[in-house]
Structure 1
Amino acid sequence: MSLRPRDIVDISFEAPEGWFDVELLGEPGSDDWPERLASALASPGMAAQLRVLQQVLHAEDPTGATRARVYVPEPTAGVISAYQTYELLRLEVDDTPESYLAATDAESAHREPGYEVIGYRSWRTAHPLGELVGFTHLTALEDDAAGDALLEQRVVFAIFPVGAAQAFHTIFRSGFIGGFDDMVAETQAIADSVRVTLGEAA
Structure 2
Amino acid sequence: MTLRAQDIVDFSFEAPDGWYDVELLGEHGSDDWPERLVATLDAGGLADELAERLRALQRVLHAEDPTGATRARVYIPVPAAGVLNAFQTVELLQLETDDTPESYLAAADAEGEHREPGYEIRGYRSWRTAHATGELVGFTHLTAIADEEAGDALLEQRVVFAIFPVGSAQAFQMIFRSAFVGGFADMVEETQEIADSLRVSLGEYA
- On whether the aligned pair clears a TM of 0.5, the verdict is yes
Give the match's secondary structure for 1:158.
strand
1:42 Cα deviation (Å)?
2.8
**Counterpart Cα distance in 1 of 2:9 and 2:119:** 36
Whole-angstrom distance in 1 between the partners of 2:85 and 2:73: 11
Ranges in structure 1 where 5+ consecutive residues have no aligned partner: none
The letter for the 1-side match of 2:36 is R
The yes-or-no answer on 1:115 pairing with 2:124 is no
1:163 is displaced (CA, Å) by 0.3
2:180 paired residue among 161, 176, 181: 176
In the TM superposition, what whole-angstrom CA distance separates every residue of 1:56-86 from its partner, at most 9, and x where no partner exists?
Answer: 0000000000000000001111100000001
SS at match of 1:38: helix
When normalised by structure 2's length, the TM-score is 0.96
Match of 2:104 among 89, 100, 104: 100
Q: Given residue 74 of structure 1, which amino acid in structure 2 is its aligned partner?
A: V
Of 57-66 and 35-44, deviating more is: 35-44
The residue aligned with 2:32 is 32
Distance in 2, Cα, partners of 1:30 & 1:69: 14
Aligned equivalent of 1:13: 13
Q: 1:89 aligns with which of 75, 89, 93?
A: 93
Does the 8 A contact of 1:2 with 1:201 survive in 2?
A: no
Q: Which amino acid aligns with 1:50?
A: L
d(CA) in 2 for partners of 1:95 and 1:178? 36
What CA distance in whole angstroms lies between the structure 2 residues aligned with 1:63 and 1:73? 29
Deviation at 1:101?
Answer: 0.3
Contact 1:140 1:151 in 2 (8 A): yes
- Partner secondary structure for residue 122 of structure 1: strand
Indicate which of 143, 165, 180 corresponds to 1:161. Answer: 165
- Give the number of aligned pairs: 202
Say yes or no: does 1:49 pair with 2:53: yes
Query: Structure 1 residue 16: deviation in Å?
Result: 1.4
- Once residues 195 and 50 of structure 1 are traced to their aligned partners in structure 2, the CA distance between those partners, rounded to angstroms, is 28
Counterpart in the other structure of 1:67 = 71
Kindly, what percent of the aligned residue pairs are identical?
A: 75
Q: TM-score, normalised by structure 1?
A: 0.98
Structure 1 residue 2 displacement after superposition: 7.4
- Output the CA distance in 2 between the equivalents of 1:72 and 1:115: 27
SS at match of 1:200: strand
The structural deviation recorded for 1:15 is: 2.4
| Aligned mates of 2:14, 2:2 — CA distance in 1 | 31
- 2:129 is equivalent to residue 125 of structure 1: yes
**Counterpart-to-counterpart distance in 2, 1:50 and 1:38:** 9
Dislocated runs of 4+, deviation >6 Å: none
CA shift, 1:41, in A, is 1.1
